[in-house]
């Protein structure tokens, strides 16, 4: 099963992608994580993405489609994948559809995590992430240790107030039209109310996948 997760920054896509990956036994593919790893490793892809990411702008479609081509044709994605934040423009949605059709596959489900701007701003302002495995935490100090891998927790540069405002603008201008695009192509977009404790949101998402 190939599942696309949509929703604004801070809606909990990454948190829910981890939970769903565990429950469904398919990998999570988060383009944000792939790009941050490339940045950390100093690759050409990471260097190209850095300035866009720091400002909260979208990385060019060609870079994202390159990542998606690599991962979707790999054996790891043979049983399916949970695509976290991997489709943020209409050209990306079109490119992914063409790529999957070539592989004899397609997007099976689209989940839209819905939350108010106030709530997501509060979440992003309180977030730290593990610099190694990228697990997000709420209310934990930068410099403390990740429970999963022992890495150090840090603040993301794009969680500064100006970058958050820009990410919200970018979401409305460039990513919101993707919701309509999937609807027009016949995929039913299931809305999930993301303003609830993590496990409750996971139950809602699993229920939405069965509809």
Residues with active-site annotation:
13, 88, 127, 156, 167
Largest CA distance in the chain: 46
Q: Which is nearer to ligand AP5, 104 or 118 (CB)?
A: 118
Q: Which stretch binds ligand AP5 (CB under 6 A): 70-78, 80-88, 104-112, 203-211?
A: 80-88
Q: Phi and psi for 37 in degrees, rounded to 5?
A: -65, -40
DSSP bridge partners of 28: 82
* CA 89/CA 181 separation, integer angstroms: 10
Q: Draw the binding track, 23-62, toward ligand AP5 (x: CB under 6 A; -: no contact).
A: -------xxx--x----------------xx--xxxx---
Burial 87-118 (b: 16+ CB within 10 A, else e): bbbbbbbbbbbeebeeeebebebbbbbebeee
CA distances (Å), origin 23, targets 17, 20, 101, 105, 205: 10, 5, 26, 22, 11
Is residue 138 at the binding interface for ligand AP5, with CB under 6 A as the rule? yes
d(C-alpha 181, C-alpha 15), whole Å: 25
Choices 8-16, 74-82, 141-149, 185-193 (CB under 6 A): range interacting with ligand AP5:
8-16
User: What is the closest distance, in whole angstroms, from the C-beta atom of residue 157 to ligand AP5 in the complex?
Assistant: 10
CB of 13 to ligand AP5, least distance (A): 4
Residues near ligand AP5 (CB under 6 A): 7, 9-15, 30-32, 35, 52-53, 56-59, 64, 85-86, 88, 92, 123-124, 127, 136-138, 158, 167, 196-198, 201
């Amino acid at each position: 099963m190939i599942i696309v997760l949509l929703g604004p920054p801070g809606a909990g896509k990454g948190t829910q992608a981890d939970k769903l990956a565990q429950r469904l036994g398919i990998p999570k593919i988060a383009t944000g994580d792939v790009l941050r790893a490339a940045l950390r490793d100093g690759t050409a892809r990471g260097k190209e993405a850095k300035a866009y990411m720091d400002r909260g702008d979208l990385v060019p479609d060609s870079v994202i489609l390159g990542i998606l081509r690599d991962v979707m044709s790999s054996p790891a994605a043979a049983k399916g994948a949970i695509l976290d934040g991997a489709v943020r423009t209409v050209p990306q949605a079109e490119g992914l559809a063409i790529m999957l059709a070539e592989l004899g596959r397609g997007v099976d489900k689209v989940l839209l995590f819905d939350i108010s701007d106030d709530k997501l701003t509060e979440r992003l302002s309180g977030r730290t992430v593990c610099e190694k495995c990228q697990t997000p935490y709420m209310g934990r100090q930068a410099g403390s240790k990740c429970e999963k891998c022992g890495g150090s927790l840090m603040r993301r540069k794009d969680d500064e107030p100006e970058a958050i405002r820009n990410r919200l603008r970018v979401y409305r201008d460039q990513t919101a039209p993707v919701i309509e695009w999937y609807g027009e192509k016949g995929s039913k977009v299931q809305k999930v109310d993301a303003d609830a404790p993590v496990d409750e949101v996971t139950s809602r998402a699993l229920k939405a996948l069965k509809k």
